[in-house]
Amino acid sequence: MNSKELRKYSLIIQIGNTDPSSPQVLPLFEELAANDFETAFEMWEYYLSLYANKLSNEQISMNLEREVFNIMKSRSDSKMRQLLGESAPLLKLIYNTSMTAASAGNLTFVSSLIVASKVDEAGEILKLIVTNKNKDFGESMKVILDDVFETQTKKTGSHVPSLNRKQQMFLLEYALKVKGPNKNVLAQRIKEVS
Protein backbone atom coordinates (compact mmCIF):
# COMPACT_ATOMS: atom_id res chain seq x y z
CA MET A 1 0.00 0.00 0.00
CA ASN A 2 1.43 3.37 -0.98
CA SER A 3 1.34 6.58 1.08
CA LYS A 4 -1.62 8.00 -0.88
CA GLU A 5 -3.75 4.95 -0.06
CA LEU A 6 -2.65 5.04 3.58
CA ARG A 7 -3.68 8.70 3.81
CA LYS A 8 -7.03 7.92 2.17
CA TYR A 9 -7.85 5.29 4.80
CA SER A 10 -6.61 7.54 7.57
CA LEU A 11 -8.95 10.31 6.37
CA ILE A 12 -11.90 7.90 6.22
CA ILE A 13 -11.26 6.89 9.83
CA GLN A 14 -10.85 10.51 10.93
CA ILE A 15 -14.11 11.54 9.24
CA GLY A 16 -15.89 8.62 10.89
CA ASN A 17 -14.59 9.71 14.29
CA THR A 18 -15.44 13.40 13.88
CA ASP A 19 -18.57 14.96 15.36
CA PRO A 20 -20.86 15.86 12.41
CA SER A 21 -21.49 19.36 13.79
CA SER A 22 -17.78 20.11 14.03
CA PRO A 23 -16.17 22.34 11.39
CA GLN A 24 -13.21 19.90 11.56
CA VAL A 25 -15.06 17.53 9.23
CA LEU A 26 -14.81 19.95 6.29
CA PRO A 27 -11.03 20.03 5.75
CA LEU A 28 -11.03 16.24 6.10
CA PHE A 29 -13.57 15.91 3.29
CA GLU A 30 -11.65 18.45 1.23
CA GLU A 31 -8.43 16.47 1.55
CA LEU A 32 -10.18 13.16 0.86
CA ALA A 33 -11.81 14.62 -2.29
CA ALA A 34 -8.36 15.76 -3.47
CA ASN A 35 -6.92 12.32 -2.71
CA ASP A 36 -9.72 10.18 -4.22
CA PHE A 37 -12.89 11.90 -5.41
CA GLU A 38 -15.05 8.80 -5.75
CA THR A 39 -14.10 7.54 -2.29
CA ALA A 40 -14.91 10.98 -0.85
CA PHE A 41 -18.28 10.86 -2.63
CA GLU A 42 -19.03 7.40 -1.19
CA MET A 43 -17.92 8.52 2.27
CA TRP A 44 -20.18 11.57 1.99
CA GLU A 45 -23.16 9.34 1.14
CA TYR A 46 -22.30 7.00 4.02
CA TYR A 47 -21.83 9.87 6.48
CA LEU A 48 -25.15 11.51 5.50
CA SER A 49 -26.88 8.12 5.86
CA LEU A 50 -25.30 7.62 9.27
CA TYR A 51 -26.61 10.96 10.51
CA ALA A 52 -29.85 11.09 8.48
CA ASN A 53 -31.95 11.44 11.62
CA LYS A 54 -29.93 14.56 12.59
CA LEU A 55 -30.24 16.43 9.29
CA SER A 56 -33.01 18.54 10.82
CA ASN A 57 -30.28 20.10 12.99
CA GLU A 58 -29.11 23.26 11.23
CA GLN A 59 -25.40 22.96 12.04
CA ILE A 60 -25.21 19.28 11.12
CA SER A 61 -27.14 19.84 7.91
CA MET A 62 -24.92 22.81 7.00
CA ASN A 63 -21.75 20.77 7.59
CA LEU A 64 -22.71 17.42 6.15
CA GLU A 65 -24.89 18.47 3.26
CA ARG A 66 -24.37 22.08 2.22
CA GLU A 67 -20.65 22.54 2.85
CA VAL A 68 -19.57 19.07 1.68
CA PHE A 69 -21.75 19.52 -1.42
CA ASN A 70 -19.85 22.73 -2.18
CA ILE A 71 -16.48 21.05 -1.55
CA MET A 72 -17.32 18.19 -3.91
CA LYS A 73 -18.73 20.54 -6.56
CA SER A 74 -15.68 22.81 -6.47
CA ARG A 75 -13.33 19.83 -6.70
CA SER A 76 -15.01 18.42 -9.84
CA ASP A 77 -18.33 19.76 -11.04
CA SER A 78 -18.64 17.21 -13.86
CA LYS A 79 -17.89 14.18 -11.66
CA MET A 80 -20.19 15.54 -8.99
CA ARG A 81 -23.08 15.91 -11.43
CA GLN A 82 -22.52 12.42 -12.80
CA LEU A 83 -22.23 10.67 -9.44
CA LEU A 84 -25.09 12.64 -7.90
CA GLY A 85 -27.35 11.77 -10.82
CA GLU A 86 -26.55 8.08 -10.27
CA SER A 87 -27.19 8.10 -6.51
CA ALA A 88 -30.88 8.04 -5.60
CA PRO A 89 -30.10 7.50 -1.88
CA LEU A 90 -27.88 10.59 -1.76
CA LEU A 91 -30.43 12.69 -3.64
CA LYS A 92 -33.03 11.63 -1.09
CA LEU A 93 -30.79 12.60 1.84
CA ILE A 94 -29.97 15.98 0.30
CA TYR A 95 -33.40 17.00 -0.98
CA ASN A 96 -35.86 15.05 1.16
CA THR A 97 -34.20 14.87 4.58
CA SER A 98 -31.83 17.80 4.93
CA MET A 99 -33.05 21.16 6.19
CA THR A 100 -30.59 22.79 3.76
CA ALA A 101 -32.41 21.46 0.69
CA ALA A 102 -32.94 24.08 -2.05
CA SER A 103 -29.97 26.19 -0.98
CA ALA A 104 -26.40 26.88 -2.09
CA GLY A 105 -24.89 24.17 -4.31
CA ASN A 106 -27.86 21.82 -4.29
CA LEU A 107 -30.09 24.73 -5.41
CA THR A 108 -27.73 25.52 -8.29
CA PHE A 109 -27.75 21.83 -9.26
CA VAL A 110 -31.55 21.59 -9.58
CA SER A 111 -31.85 25.03 -11.24
CA SER A 112 -29.28 24.11 -13.88
CA LEU A 113 -31.26 20.95 -14.68
CA ILE A 114 -34.42 23.02 -15.19
CA VAL A 115 -32.64 25.63 -17.34
CA ALA A 116 -31.18 22.80 -19.45
CA SER A 117 -34.75 21.43 -19.86
CA LYS A 118 -33.80 18.20 -18.07
CA VAL A 119 -37.19 18.15 -16.43
CA ASP A 120 -37.27 14.41 -15.74
CA GLU A 121 -34.15 14.63 -13.57
CA ALA A 122 -35.31 17.89 -11.98
CA GLY A 123 -38.72 16.32 -11.36
CA GLU A 124 -37.19 13.53 -9.32
CA ILE A 125 -35.55 16.17 -7.12
CA LEU A 126 -38.64 18.36 -6.76
CA LYS A 127 -40.69 15.31 -5.75
CA LEU A 128 -38.25 14.87 -2.88
CA ILE A 129 -38.42 18.53 -1.83
CA VAL A 130 -42.25 18.48 -1.84
CA THR A 131 -42.21 15.86 0.92
CA ASN A 132 -39.26 17.23 2.92
CA LYS A 133 -40.59 17.65 6.47
CA ASN A 134 -37.75 20.03 7.39
CA LYS A 135 -38.59 22.59 4.67
CA ASP A 136 -41.61 24.62 3.61
CA PHE A 137 -42.19 23.67 -0.02
CA GLY A 138 -43.69 27.07 -0.88
CA GLU A 139 -40.54 28.85 0.26
CA SER A 140 -38.33 26.27 -1.46
CA MET A 141 -40.24 26.65 -4.72
CA LYS A 142 -39.92 30.45 -4.54
CA VAL A 143 -36.13 30.16 -4.08
CA ILE A 144 -35.87 27.62 -6.92
CA LEU A 145 -37.91 29.82 -9.25
CA ASP A 146 -35.78 32.88 -8.43
CA ASP A 147 -32.62 30.89 -9.10
CA VAL A 148 -33.97 29.47 -12.37
CA PHE A 149 -34.82 32.98 -13.56
CA GLU A 150 -31.39 34.30 -12.56
CA THR A 151 -29.59 31.35 -14.19
CA GLN A 152 -31.67 31.72 -17.35
CA THR A 153 -30.93 35.44 -17.69
CA LYS A 154 -27.20 34.85 -17.16
CA LYS A 155 -27.24 32.09 -19.77
CA THR A 156 -29.03 34.17 -22.40
CA GLY A 157 -27.49 37.52 -21.51
CA SER A 158 -30.99 38.98 -21.28
CA HIS A 159 -32.43 41.14 -18.52
CA VAL A 160 -35.76 39.35 -18.67
CA PRO A 161 -36.04 35.61 -18.01
CA SER A 162 -37.82 33.42 -20.54
CA LEU A 163 -38.98 29.84 -20.35
CA ASN A 164 -39.73 27.41 -23.11
CA ARG A 165 -43.05 25.54 -23.00
CA LYS A 166 -41.51 22.43 -21.41
CA GLN A 167 -39.90 24.45 -18.60
CA GLN A 168 -43.04 26.50 -18.06
CA MET A 169 -45.34 23.47 -17.79
CA PHE A 170 -42.88 21.71 -15.49
CA LEU A 171 -42.52 24.66 -13.10
CA LEU A 172 -46.25 25.34 -13.17
CA GLU A 173 -46.97 21.73 -12.21
CA TYR A 174 -44.85 22.10 -9.07
CA ALA A 175 -46.01 25.63 -8.26
CA LEU A 176 -49.57 24.29 -8.13
CA LYS A 177 -48.48 21.78 -5.45
CA VAL A 178 -47.65 24.66 -3.10
CA LYS A 179 -50.08 25.14 -0.22
CA GLY A 180 -50.90 28.67 0.88
CA PRO A 181 -50.59 32.18 -0.52
CA ASN A 182 -47.39 31.59 -2.54
CA LYS A 183 -49.20 29.22 -4.89
CA ASN A 184 -50.96 31.88 -7.01
CA VAL A 185 -48.01 34.29 -6.93
CA LEU A 186 -45.61 31.59 -8.17
CA ALA A 187 -48.02 30.42 -10.86
CA GLN A 188 -48.48 33.99 -12.09
CA ARG A 189 -44.72 34.64 -12.21
CA ILE A 190 -44.21 31.48 -14.29
CA LYS A 191 -46.96 32.43 -16.73
CA GLU A 192 -45.48 35.91 -17.19
CA VAL A 193 -42.12 34.63 -18.46
CA SER A 194 -43.32 32.29 -21.17
**pLDDT at residue 64, rounded to an integer:** 95
Residues 75 and 112: their CA atoms lie apart, in Å, by 18
Considering the chain, what is the average pLDDT of its residues?
95
Helices 37-50 and 77-85 pack at an angle, to 10 degrees, of: 50
**pLDDT at residue 59, rounded to an integer:** 94
Asked whether the beta carbons of 163 and 171 are under 8 A apart, the reply is yes
Q: pTM, whole model, 2 decimals?
A: 0.94
Instruction: Express each pLDDT in 158-180 by its tens digit.
Output: 999 999 999 999 999 999 999 98
**pLDDT at residue 181, rounded to an integer:** 84
Average pLDDT over residues 65-83: 95
Asked whether residue 15 carries a pLDDT value surpassing 80, the answer given is yes
Higher pLDDT, 180 or 99: 99
Asked whether residue 194 carries a pLDDT value surpassing 90, the answer given is no
Residues 59 and 42: their CA atoms lie apart, in Å, by 21
Instruction: Express each pLDDT in 100-122 by its tens digit.
Output: 999 999 999 999 999 999 999 99
DSSP result, the chain: --HHHHHHHHHHHHHHTS-TTSTTHHHHHHHHHHH-HHHHHHHHHHHHHHTGGGTTSHHHHIIIIIIHHHHHHHH-HHHHHHHHHT-HHHHHIIIII-TTTTSHHHHHHHHHHHHTT-HHHHHHHHHHHHT-TTS-HHHHHHHHHHHHHHHHHHHHT-SS----HHHHHHHHHHHTT--STHHHHHHHHHHHT-
Which residues lie below 8 Å from residue 123, measured CB to CB, with a gap of 6+? Answer: 170
Asked whether residue 78 carries a pLDDT value surpassing 80, the answer given is yes
Asked whether residue 150 carries a pLDDT value surpassing 80, the answer given is yes
**pLDDT at residue 53, rounded to an integer:** 96
